[in-house]
């Protein structure tokens, strides 16, 4: 089992000095990765579907990870997730390739399709076609990253006779992780991704998702070069050794831990160190 740390661009971690201390402590303790989330805008007033209050700070994920790349040396840097249908795919591909170069090849590209209708409406993106957009945008990004003469022609994005250098350090592109718990997400993970990510999943929900992924693997072809699908989960609550073993028994490879949102900077550092000493050291 590997361990990641979530919330690195939100709440108290939106302050650069706290981000730096927490990231460096996590790297020293032995965390595998640092993870950031995304919402460009939030409904105001808050709606039941929104995970955050509109005043809660959340930094742009690419900017935050670029900052964290400069403060660390080897820990991996993951987007968990970027809401892909809300982004221009070629602009995002340029940003992420730049991040992969500046970090020395440490990026994990986690994507999702989103779900907050007010956010989509504010950005001028129809909610109903977000899945199809995500599929096209991902294919277009892979083309610009990996093809000698990149081109892509789809309903939502089309280009040819262009180049975008530098290319990502990781070839043919950074590892892709798909978030979500729908049949379409499971299909996308099986066909296109190196990993799948479940956010805020207890053991029962994790078992259901893994069953869904196994069903999808029986229906859709997985390219051999993608290898084994890595399963990552952010648990609902703080885990102990017994829960780590239960997640591992289900087939989870990585737990991306979410600290309590009530912690201040010092409390967050203490959380990282206590988790490191109690969980990570025991697993290594």
Which sequence spans correspond to the domains of the chain? 2-283
Residue pair 66/147 in contact (Cβ under 8 Å)? The answer is no
Sign of CA dihedral 156, 158, 162, 163: positive
Q: Could you give the C-alpha distances from 143 to 118, 137, 173, 269, in angstroms and in order?
A: 31, 10, 10, 40
Tokens coding 227: 């290898």
CA-angle at 97, arms to 93 and 103, nearest 5° = 145
**Predicted local distance difference test score (pLDDT) of residue 238:** 86
d(CA 65, CA 40): 16
For the cut 70, the answer to whether the pLDDT of residue 65 exceeds it is: yes
Closest among 37, 50, 58 to 112, alpha carbons compared: 37
Residue pair 75/174 in contact (Cβ under 8 Å)? The answer is no
**Predicted local distance difference test score (pLDDT) of residue 277:** 78
Residue pair 14/57 in contact (Cβ under 8 Å)? The answer is yes
For the cut 80, the answer to whether the pLDDT of residue 109 exceeds it is: yes
**Average pLDDT, integer, range 127-136:** 97
For β-strands 230-235 and 195-201, DSSP reports them as parallel
**Predicted local distance difference test score (pLDDT) of residue 275:** 86
**Predicted local distance difference test score (pLDDT) of residue 167:** 98
Residue pair 80/32 in contact (Cβ under 8 Å)? The answer is no
d(CA 227, CA 41): 36
d(CA 280, CA 270): 14
**Predicted local distance difference test score (pLDDT) of residue 237:** 84
The residue whose two tokens read 């066909």 is 191
Cis amide prior to 90 (ω within 30 degrees): no
**Predicted local distance difference test score (pLDDT) of residue 177:** 98
Neighbours of 248 (CB within 10 A): 13
* 237 vs 33, more confident: 33
User: pLDDT band for position 110 (50/70/90)?
Assistant: very high
d(CA 284, CA 1): 9
**Average pLDDT, integer, range 31-50:** 96
For the cut 90, the answer to whether the pLDDT of residue 278 exceeds it is: no
**Predicted local distance difference test score (pLDDT) of residue 262:** 87
The residue whose two tokens read 């993106």 is 125
For the cut 80, the answer to whether the pLDDT of residue 261 exceeds it is: yes
**Predicted local distance difference test score (pLDDT) of residue 48:** 92
Q: Which fold has domain 2-283?
A: TIM Barrel (3.20.20)
What is the percent of the chain with per-residue pLDDT over 70, rounded to a whole number?
99
Radius of gyration of the chain (CA): 18
The secondary structure of residue 47, as a DSSP letter, is P
d(CA 156, CA 271): 44
Our separate counts of H helices and E strands in the chain read 10, 11
Its pTM stands at 0.96
User: pLDDT band for position 114 (50/70/90)?
Assistant: very high
**Predicted local distance difference test score (pLDDT) of residue 207:** 98
Calculate the average pLDDT of the chain. 96
Cα 281 from chain centre: 24
**Predicted local distance difference test score (pLDDT) of residue 284:** 52
User: pLDDT band for position 283 (50/70/90)?
Assistant: low
User: pLDDT band for position 280 (50/70/90)?
Assistant: confident
């Amino acid at each position: 089992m590997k361990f990641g740390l979530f919330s690195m661009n939100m709440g108290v971690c939106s302050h650069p000095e706290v981000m730096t201390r927490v990231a460096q402590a996590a790297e020293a303790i032995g965390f595998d990765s640092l993870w950031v989330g995304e919402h460009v805008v939030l409904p105001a007033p808050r709606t039941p579907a929104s995970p955050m209050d509109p005043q809660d700070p959340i930094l742009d994920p690419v900017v935050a990870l670029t900052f964290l790349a400069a403060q660390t040396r080897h820990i991996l840097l993951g987007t968990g997730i970027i809401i892909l249908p809300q982004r221009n795919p070629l602009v995002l591909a340029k940003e992420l390739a730049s991040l992969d170069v500046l970090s020395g090849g440490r990026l994990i590209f986690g994507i999702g399709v989103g779900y907050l209708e007010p956010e989509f409406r504010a950005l001028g993106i129809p909610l109903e076609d977000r899945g199809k957009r995500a599929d096209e945008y991902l294919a277009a990004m892979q083309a610009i990253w990996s093809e000698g003469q990149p081109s892509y022609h789809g309903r939502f994005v089309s280009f040819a006779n262009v180049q975008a250098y530098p290319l990502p350090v990781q070839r043919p592109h950074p590892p892709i992780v798909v978030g979500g718990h729908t049949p379409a997400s499971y299909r996308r993970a099986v066909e296109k991704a190196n990993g799948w990510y479940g956010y805020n999943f207890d053991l029962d929900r994790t078992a259901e998702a893994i069953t869904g992924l196994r069903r999808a693997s029986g229906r859709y072809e997985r390219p051999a070069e993608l290898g084994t699908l890595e399963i990552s989960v952010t648990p609902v609550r703080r885990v102990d050794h017994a829960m780590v073993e239960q997640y591992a028994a289900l087939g989870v490879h990585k737990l991306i831990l979410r600290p309590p949102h009530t912690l201040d900077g010092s409390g967050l550092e203490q959380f990282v160190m206590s988790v490191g000493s109690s969980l990570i050291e025991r697993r290594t």
